[in-house]
């Protein structure tokens, strides 16, 4: 700041001497240098925690003693950082005596106002005490800023987005703009660059955008979703990690009674798996998310698991029977009777998926592996639950094995690896006359095994399915 003032004084002096000197300054771009100096006041780092505590305690002592001369110019320069320090009810922003002195120090001082703007934007979404009064003070200083003042840009930003009118619609206006264009550029047009991209004000606009998103999603508009997901990313991490619960709910709750088009669903599902992980395997990042939103995501994961399993078998041409098996189980899925699903594949299938990631992109590696004796590399097993019935469908003409959920022998879901016995042992006999457990897929065209399975599932769950629902169309 001393350098800036010195250069400005130098310019003024030369103006008084003669215009020739000013032309010389222009030739060497010294005048431009004055205006182009870095904004040190906005880029400076926040004082360390121990410094903030000491500064806050010093101000509190002076408030009691009224010995304001004990506050150094350096303390006043840093005062904005402790404006909302401490618990509500004891912050400096709530103390009228402090504010009276603070206004005197800041009024007419552009550098001090910019520090105050930074703190205001940083703390905005916490709705700190006296936010409106402080915003009004900032607004008054910004509105009377001269064109060559360092506050001139904030005057322009406020004209666009009403940043310093907290009770207005500035946050709403910024949120709408961010859903319709490049987010970083839009936030930059509001002065939210650098660390202010993650400020409380930007976070408040983000939350507002999340509330708006449902209308766009249900209208089938993809642009706003793409902008929102781009806004959410910060180099592979969530930009606003504290908003992850609201984010998950905004993306999922609109689909409780509706299904999005496949592209929208895929975008949302892949994004959530990448940034929040699979809640069935890693639930920590999903804490606090509404059950209704989780149920939508579980339903999608069930569908993706079935789709991936059938796609693997279709492309690998492993089993001609799958036309009938697909039709049978898909009928249960379409009617939302399948509550959980998990896929486990042999080593050959793992290599196949590695070369064809588009088959499993909606799963993001959310599947297990088959290992150990009796498992071939090109085998796969689909494990799923229909109410109180657990089913394991094996490829390559393998049997369908069934357990009840209260069985101690039932296979667990969401494991990284499975041995063959874990998804075959002690499964039920559907008929007393059967010599072995499980059911082979006999009489596909006549609906032989389908009738047996449908009857068993009905007896256990009271889910009634007609042959017209599960027999493939010829």
199: pLDDT strictly greater than 60: yes
Determine the Cα angle at 310 with ends 307 and 314, to 5°: 130
pLDDT band at 441 (very low <50, low <70, confident <90, very high): confident
For the chain, domain boundaries: 1-37, 44-168, 201-289, 304-470
The burial class, CB within 10 Å (0-12 / 13-18 / 19+), for 425 is middle
- Which pLDDT score, from 0 to 100, does residue 122 have? 95
pLDDT at 469 exceeding the cut of 90: yes
> Could you tell me which residues are beta bridge partners of residue 386?
338, 389
What pTM, to 2 d.p., does this model score? 0.83
Confidence tier at 42 by pLDDT (50, 70, 90)? very low
Residue 451 CA, chain-centre distance (Å), reads: 45
334-364 per-residue burial string, b: 16 or more CB within 10 A, e: under 16:
eeebbebbbbbbbeebeebbeeeeebbbbbb
Q: Which pLDDT score, from 0 to 100, does residue 17 have?
A: 40
Select the more confidently predicted residue: 33 or 274: 274
Task: Give yes or no for a contact between 404 and 390, defined as CB atoms under 8 angstroms apart.
Answer: yes
How many CB atoms within 10 Å of residue 140?
12
What is the C-alpha separation between 22 and 40, in angstroms, rounded?
Answer: 27
Q: Which carries the bigger pLDDT value, residue 262 or residue 397?
A: 262
Phi-psi region of 168 (alpha: psi -120 to 50; beta: other; left: phi over 0): beta
Rounded Cα–Cα distance for residues 469 and 331 (Å): 6
* Tokens of residue 358, six digits: 């588009």
- Nearest of 63, 56, 54, 108 to residue 80 by alpha carbon: 56
Q: What average pLDDT does the structure give for the chain?
A: 87
Strand 417-419 relative to strand 400-404: parallel, antiparallel, unpaired?
A: unpaired
Which of the given ranges, 75-84, 349-358, 389-398, has the highest pLDDT on average?
A: 75-84
């Amino acid at each position: 700041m001393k350098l800036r003032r010195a250069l400005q004084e130098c310019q003024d002096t030369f103006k008084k001497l003669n215009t020739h000197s000013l032309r010389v300054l222009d030739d060497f771009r010294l005048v431009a240098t004055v205006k182009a100096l870095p904004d040190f006041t906005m880029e400076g780092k926040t004082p360390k925690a121990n410094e903030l505590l000491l500064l806050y305690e010093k101000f509190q002592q002076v408030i009691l003693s009224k010995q304001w001369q004990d506050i150094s110019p350096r303390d006043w320069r840093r005062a904005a950082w402790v404006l909302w320090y401490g618990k509500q009810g004891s912050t400096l922003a709530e103390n009228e005596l402090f504010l009276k002195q603070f206004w005197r120090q800041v009024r007419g001082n552009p550098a001090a106002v910019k520090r105050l703007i930074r703190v205001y934007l940083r703390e905005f979404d916490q709705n700190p005490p006296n936010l409106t009064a402080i915003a009004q003070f900032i607004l008054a200083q910004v509105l009377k800023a001269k064109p060559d003042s360092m506050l001139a840009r904030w005057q322009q930003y406020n004209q666009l987005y009403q940043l310093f009118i907290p009770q207005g619609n500035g946050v709403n206006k910024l949120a709408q703009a961010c859903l319709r264009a490049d987010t970083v550029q839009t936030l930059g047009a509001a002065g939210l660059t650098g660390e202010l991209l993650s400020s409380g004000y930007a976070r408040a606009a983000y939350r507002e955008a999340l509330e708006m998103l449902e209308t766009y999603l249900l209208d089938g508009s993809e642009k706003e979703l793409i902008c929102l997901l781009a806004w959410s990313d910060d180099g592979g991490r969530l930009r606003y990690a504290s908003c992850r619960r609201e984010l998950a709910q905004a993306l999922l709750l609109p689909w409780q009674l509706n299904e999005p088009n496949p592209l929208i669903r895929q975008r949302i599902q892949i994004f959530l798996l990448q940034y929040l992980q699979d809640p069935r395997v890693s639930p920590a990042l999903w804490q606090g998310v509404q059950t209704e939103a989780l149920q939508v995501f579980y339903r999608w994961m069930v569908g993706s698991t079935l789709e991936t399993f059938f796609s693997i078998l279709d492309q690998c041409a492993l089993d001609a029977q799958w036309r009938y098996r697909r039709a049978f189980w898909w009928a249960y899925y379409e009617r939302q009777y399948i509550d959980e699903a998990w896929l486990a594949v042999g080593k050959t299938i793992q290599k196949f998926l590695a070369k064809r990631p588009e088959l499993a992109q909606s799963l993001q590696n959310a599947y297990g592996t088959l290992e150990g004796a009796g498992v071939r590399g090109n085998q796969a097993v689909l494990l799923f639950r229909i109410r109180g019935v657990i089913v394991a469908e094996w490829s390559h003409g393998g049997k369908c094995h069934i357990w009840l959920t209260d069985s101690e022998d039932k296979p667990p879901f969401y494991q990284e690896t499975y041995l063959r016995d874990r998804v075959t042992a002690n499964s039920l006999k559907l008929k007393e006359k059967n010599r072995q457990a499980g059911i082979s897929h006999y009489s596909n065209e006549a609906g032989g095994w389908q009738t047996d399975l449908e009857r068993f599932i009905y007896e256990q769950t009271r889910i009634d399915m007609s042959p017209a629902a599960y027999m493939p169309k010829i």
